[in-house]
């Protein structure tokens, strides 16, 4: 078992009840605890203050790496690769559209309802043309350009529907300029690690993606695969705010912007895992 101590608190926790270990502040990990996590395929993830993953400890046993990685390269050269990328964006866009419709039923402000409706109507024709974009000469560029246009409709409407104190007009990162983006960045950081862990567990090369441009040290396959799951996080955070689980007390100034406080990070981590 894991033996966890914090001040006077002592706990014994079975590894069978642990899916991941998130380190958000300085602590001591014994080699026995690390090896126990590795044995049970439990990732140990180290987060910075803004929720970005700094490091991850994982098993080196990922199955037949050579065969799978060779298959990834060969797949990227086929005509099916752009079709796969198109489906990734279609799933993400469908999730965003579902969020806008869901929010229409939640808000009572006519101005916000109108903005949500306009965003949904603007996104629909763009989503309908994703198949065409995936068949162009430069399909990945065409898809990402369309995604950027969709985002310019989605985020202002979504941000306007947030509860008082959490409204925003655009996405902001490193650092976040408002509390909503601070919380969203943290949750996206955890989602990133969940997707990366799944990629590694499947034995695939996280550095070999299709849509996102190759970059030294960047797990572009993770960047690709995370996209369809982002709308789930968007709605989850909005539900937390509507239910009062997070409020202004859970955020603080950080590096010229806003970040989640220690208590805020604990809430975000437990809610994500739930």
Q: How confident is the prediction along the chain (274 residues), in pLDDT tens digits per residue?
A: 999 998 899 999 999 998 888 887 889 999 999 999 988 888 888 877 766 777 888 777 655 567 888 899 899 999 999 999 999 999 999 999 999 999 999 888 899 999 999 999 999 999 999 989 888 888 989 999 999 999 999 999 999 999 988 999 889 888 899 999 999 999 998 898 889 878 877 778 888 888 886 666 678 899 999 999 999 999 999 999 999 999 889 999 888 889 999 899 999 999 998 8
Angle between helices 139-160 and 110-128 (to 10 degrees): 170
pLDDT score of 48: 77
Whole-number Å distance between alpha carbons of 182 and 171? 10
The SS3 call for residue 10 is strand
**Residue 258 is inside which H or E element, if any?**
strand 257-260
Taking the C-alpha atoms of 23, 29, 33 and 38 in order, what is their torsion angle to the nearest 10 degrees?
Answer: 50
The answer for residues whose C-beta is within 8 angstroms of residue 230's C-beta and 6 or more apart is 92, 95, 188, 191
pLDDT score of 23: 87
pLDDT score of 95: 96
Which is it for strands 257-260 and 251-254: parallel, antiparallel or unpaired?
antiparallel
Query: C-alpha distances in angstroms, 49 versus 20, 68, 103?
Result: 18, 35, 30
pLDDT score of 68: 82
The answer for residues whose C-beta is within 8 angstroms of residue 181's C-beta and 6 or more apart is 168, 171, 172, 173, 258
Angle between helices 80-104 and 139-160 (to 10 degrees): 10
Whole-number Å distance between alpha carbons of 154 and 173? 17
pLDDT score of 64: 57
Yes or no: say if 225 and 179 are a contact pair by the CB < 8 Å rule.
no
pLDDT score of 61: 66
């Amino acid at each position: 078992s894991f033996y966890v101590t914090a001040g006077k608190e002592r706990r014994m926790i079975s590894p069978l009840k642990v899916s991941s270990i998130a380190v958000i502040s300085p602590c001591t990990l014994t080699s026995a605890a690390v090896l126990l996590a590795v044995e049970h395929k439990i990732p140990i993830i180290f987060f910075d203050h803004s929720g970005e993953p700094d490091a991850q400890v994982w098993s080196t046993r990922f199955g037949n790496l050579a065969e799978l990685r060779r298959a990834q390269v060969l797949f990227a050269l086929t005509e099916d690769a752009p079709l796969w990328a198109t489906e990734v964006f279609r799933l993400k866009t469908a999730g965003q559209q579902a969020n806008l419709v869901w929010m229409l039923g939640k808000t009572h402000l006519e101005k916000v309802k109108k903005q949500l409706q306009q965003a949904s109507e603007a996104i629909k024709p763009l989503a309908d043309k994703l198949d065409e974009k995936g068949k162009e000469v430069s399909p990945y560029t065409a898809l990402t350009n369309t995604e950027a246009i969709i985002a310019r409709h989605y985020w202002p409407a979504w941000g306007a529907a947030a509860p008082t104190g959490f409204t925003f007009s655009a996405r902001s990162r490193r650092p976040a300029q408002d509390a909503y983006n601070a919380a969203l960045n943290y949750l996206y950081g955890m989602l990133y690690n969940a997707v990366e862990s799944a990629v590694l567990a499947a034995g695939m090369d996280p550095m070999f993606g299709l849509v996102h441009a190759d970059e030294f040290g960047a797990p572009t396959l993770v960047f690709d695969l995370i996209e369809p799951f982002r709308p789930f996080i968007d709605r989850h955070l909005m539900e937390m705010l509507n239910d009062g689980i997070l409020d202004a007390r859970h955020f603080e100034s950080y590096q010229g912007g806003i970040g989640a406080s220690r208590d805020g990070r604990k809430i975000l981590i437990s809610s994500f895992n739930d």
